[in-house]
């Protein structure tokens, strides 16, 4: 599972998505990270949090069944400063939601951006791809990227472009107009902070709906563009391109090198928190 599957169902850290050139400066000190994605650093490096074996214990959260995961990443792990102690709690609620609560603390100034990289296909085995799902993302802007998928720094309006999901659109309707497929960070209209709607996905054939709420300012919409049918899943099922989509709540990619983006800096004495809720219903 660790060696073959590209982040299926994993917690991603210490920094979800890309950091340009695998370098950032914090308090005047330059830190060098692995370049594990072309010229850039991706998803925490060579042995990111997706490959860590977390300590797990069953628990409850507001009376609901939960699983608490804990991981201590040592100072210098994958090049990042500070010992980072992370707790992630998965909660199953009575209203069919999966809540993911993240907390992290450090003993030296550092950067943190944790997310969940689950792939979803609401049609289950009824459809090979997610191209017929209707997607709505509560964001009027996104962060355009260069050819190595690093944000240019601009926050661009989605209006009148194939990036516009402010009203529901079939994922496949305009995907051919987006080079490589969707793999972009949306700037959520909520601005982050309080738990707020981020996305709503509807698979009309099955009637299944997923609603995503998050405290994060950004949401990576990724349509499994790099899946190529070589990986087999449940029941030997093959996963071709666009077999699943990810909605990864996050601070924006490459924020450490973009002072105008929401800050990913965490200092000793502060607590990083993020909550994302995936709620399932039918219509």
**Interacting residues toward ligand BGC by CB under 6 A:** 6-7, 17, 149, 183, 220, 222, 226, 246, 248
CB of 26 to ligand BGC, least distance (A): 23
For residues 105 and 278, which CB has a smaller minimum distance to ligand BGC in the complex?
Answer: 278
Torsion of CA 170, 174, 180, 181, to 10 degrees: -20
What does the block give as tokens for 88? 């992630």
**117 catalytic, yes or no?**
yes
Listed residue (268, 248, 270, 251) closest to 6, CA to CA = 248
Query: Among residues 249, 278, 115, which one has the least CA distance to residue 188?
Result: 249
Taking the complex as a whole, the smallest distance from the CB of residue 180 to ligand BGC amounts, in Å, to 9
Task: Report which DSSP code applies to 79.
Answer: G
Measured from the CB of residue 170, what is the shortest distance to ligand BGC in angstroms?
21
The nearest distance, CB 64 to ligand BGC, in angstroms, is 28
Question: Which of 41, 43, 101, 117 is the catalytic position?
Answer: 117
CB atoms within 10 A of CB 141: 17
Active-site residue flag, 248: yes
Q: 209: cis peptide before it, omega within 30°?
A: no
Q: Give the residue with the Cβ less far from ligand BGC, 138 or 221.
A: 221
Which residue, 248 or 254, has its beta carbon nearer to ligand BGC?
A: 248
Q: List residues bridging with 252 in a β-sheet.
A: none
Neighbours of 187 (CB within 10 A): 22
Cα(188)–Cα(182) distance, integer angstroms:
16
Q: Give the residue nearest to ligand BGC (CB).
A: 6
Task: Return the active site residues.
Answer: 117, 248
């Amino acid at each position: 599972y660790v060696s073959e599957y590209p982040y299926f169902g994993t917690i991603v850290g210490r920094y979800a998505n890309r950091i340009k050139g695998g370098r950032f400066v914090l308090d005047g000190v330059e830190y060098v990270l692995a370049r594990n994605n072309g010229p850039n650093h991706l998803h925490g490096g060579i042995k990111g949090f997706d490959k860590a074996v977390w300590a797990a214990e069953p628990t409850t959260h507001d009376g609901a069944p939960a699983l608490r995961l804990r991981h201590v990443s040592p100072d210098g792990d994958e090049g990042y400063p500070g010992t980072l102690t992370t707790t992630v709690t998965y909660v199953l609620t009575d209203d069919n939601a999966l809540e993911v609560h993240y907390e992290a603390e450090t003993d030296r100034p550092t950067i943190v951006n944790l997310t969940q990289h689950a792939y979803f296909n609401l049609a289950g085995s009824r459809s090979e791809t997610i191209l017929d799902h209707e997607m709505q993302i509560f964001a009027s802007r996104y962060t355009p990227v260069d050819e190595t998928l690093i944000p240019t720094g601009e926050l661009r309006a989605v209006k009148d472009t194939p990036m516009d999901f402010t009203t529901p659109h079939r994922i496949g309707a305009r995907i051919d107009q987006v080079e490589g497929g969707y793999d972009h960070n949306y700037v959520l209209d909520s601005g982050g902070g309080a738990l707020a709607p981020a996305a709503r996905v509807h698979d009309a054939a099955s009637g299944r709906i997923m609603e995503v709420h998050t405290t994060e300012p950004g949401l990576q919409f990724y349509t499994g563009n790099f899946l190529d049918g070589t990986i087999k899943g449940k029941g030997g099922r093959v996963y071709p391109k666009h077999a699943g989509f990810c909605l990864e709540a996050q601070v924006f990619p490459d924020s450490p090198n973009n002072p105008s983006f929401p800050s990913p800096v965490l200092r000793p004495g502060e607590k990083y928190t993020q909550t994302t809720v995936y709620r399932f219903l039918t219509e």
